[in-house]
Chain A
């Protein structure tokens, strides 16, 4: 499968979760395991253009697919607008949920570039945060949407 633009080939057991493949085989530990119930969303990545919880897929299910993780958002040293947004708007404290939040928003903002606050809140329902109370995360999402619309600050 292709991950962040690079092709990887591994033989794995059928029971290997995609999140463990990404973290342990590929060493991309930005994607986190925060629960064992598919609730928290800290494991969210983009698979074939859709945000998915990588803890709820087996690695083999992504065979031949294309994945983007949080590590793949930065381009030539430039942060993605969503990453920039989180930094500027203090949308993280411990940062554990943040990669998952960012990936969910990456998919969401691509589909809905002009969201309302309500729509943003609905979009991140699958991502839990214990620190921030979501307020600044929502602010960051709207900030990023604005940035991405006006074309300043980076590519999609």
Chain B
């Protein structure tokens, strides 16, 4: 059985599929850079000249 034939049988071709990364993102569990919290983490702030 060809790959295409099997894929069609599994009903993936031509069908919308839910993305696997979305579940974390719609439940607020995404880890964007500012969301990362590590033990002993420090923060930097830039004090610029006026």
Contacts and interface: CB of A to CB of B under 8 A. Distances in A.
Given A27-B37, A30-B30, A33-B34, A98 B16 contact: no
Contact of A30 (B18, B28, B37): B28
A29 B35 contact: yes
Contact of B27 (A32, A74, A88, A96): A74
- Interface residues on chain B, size class: 10 to 19
Nearest to A89: B16
Interface of B is mostly: loop
B23 interface: yes
Contacts of B18: 87-88
Contacts of B32: 32, 96
Interface in A58-92: 69-71, 73-74, 79, 83, 86-88, 90, 92
A34 B21 CA distance: 20
Interface of B: 16, 18-19, 21-23, 25-32, 34-35, 37
